[in-house]
């Protein structure tokens, strides 16, 4: 599937985990913003780009984590690509 559609959901009030960024995307195209995140188009487009990466980059979750360990969150190429 190559759709860029995504589903925006909220964490249950008591179950929100700590999130490294302002939101997190999952391979099922679900996006969960951090409870205190300001929802804006740039955030949603960024997370939809992660959904796209899940769909088109083989091994994306492992590669993403490796980039975070190797380069840090800010320099992670998948984060930079999303903001391009």
Q: Which tokens hold the place of 75?
A: 């320099």
* Residue 49: CB minimum distance to Zn ion, A: 8
Question: Residues 2 to 41: which contact Zn ion by CB under 5 A?
Answer: 21
Specify the DSSP element, H or E, that contains 32: strand 30-33
Among 31, 33, 51, 79, binds Zn ion (CB under 5 A): 79
Give the whole-angstrom CA distance, residue 42 versus residue 9: 17
* Residue 14: CB minimum distance to Zn ion, A: 25
Look up residue 65 and give its DSSP letter. H
Binding region for Zn ion (CB under 5 A): 21, 79
């Amino acid at each position: 599937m190559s759709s860029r559609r995504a589903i925006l959901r909220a964490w249950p009030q008591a179950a929100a985990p700590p999130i490294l960024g302002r939101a997190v995307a999952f391979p099922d195209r679900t996006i969960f913003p951090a409870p205190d995140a300001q929802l804006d188009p740039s955030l949603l487009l960024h997370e939809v780009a992660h959904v796209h990466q899940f769909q088109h980059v083989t091994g994306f979750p492992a590669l993403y984590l490796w980039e975070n360990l190797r380069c840090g969150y800010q320099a992670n190429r998948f984060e930079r690509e999303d903001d391009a």
